[in-house]
Amino acid sequence: MEDIAVKVLLIGDEEVGKTTFLSRISRGSNNLEGHGSITLLRDIDQPFVFEIRNRRRGYRIEFYDTSSPEDWRLLEPDLILICYDISQRSSLVNMQRLWIKQVHATFQASDRIPLIVVGLKRDLRSESDPNGIIYPQEAYNVSQEMRVDKYVECSAVTGELLKLAFEEICDVAVKTATPDGGQTEGGCVIL
């Protein structure tokens, strides 16, 4: 049986950590704990392909970052990850004001495409900047307002929550290939 291809699009501001996230997970499940250095992937090598198997079949998960495809708006993604930098309030605001609107304006089937908000650079969350700090509950509330399916956060540099975030993304990606699809039954799930 041939592997099922699932297209995953990462969108968000520049420098929020999308490439670092993809670079870390590209090194395999043994490197999800954040050990070792990260060699950044090159945008021209997209899509970044990950093959996973469950008991029933194999899946070819193709990750696309907005920084490389000539026009990412021409892609037909099965899952969209809206990424923001936990240490930069402006990226949270842009996610809410710009990126979710881009999704709905660009993709005709946006009401059927599962959406996951991914908080990146968790290791840079700083208690010393009370105005800039974004706590998980605040980002979760924003995610609920945006009506996304899940909220996850992690650090690709330290590996904190990276394995859990990657597993959740893969779980939703696999579900997009089922008749029920990958969307949740109403409400955002925080992980």
pLDDT in tens, 65-124: 876 545 777 788 999 999 999 999 999 999 999 999 989 988 877 678 999 999 999 998
pLDDT of residue 134: 87
| Residue whose entry in the numeric block shows the structure tokens 């105005």 | 131
pLDDT band at 47 (very low <50, low <70, confident <90, very high): confident
Question: How does residue 56 score in pLDDT terms, banded at 50, 70 and 90?
Answer: confident
> How would you classify the pairing of strands 58-65 and 48-53?
antiparallel
| Number of domains the chain is built from | 1
Model pLDDT for residues 128-158, shown as the tens digit of each residue = 776 667 889 999 999 999 999 999 999 998 9
Q: Which CATH number goes with the domain that contains 131?
A: 3.40.50.300
Q: Name every residue whose Cβ is closer than 8 Å to that of residue 78 and which is 6 or more positions away in sequence.
A: 6, 7, 8, 113, 114, 173, 176, 177, 182
| Distances from the Cα of 140 to the Cα of 84, 109, 118, 128, 145, angstroms | 12, 24, 10, 21, 9
pLDDT recorded at residue 24: 84
% of the chain beyond a pLDDT of 90: 40
Measured CA to CA, the distance from residue 149 to residue 144 in angstroms comes to: 8
Look over the chain and give the mean of its residue pLDDT values, rounded to a whole number. 84
Residue 57 pLDDT greater than 90, yes or no: no
Structural domain of 92: 4-190
pTM: 0.88
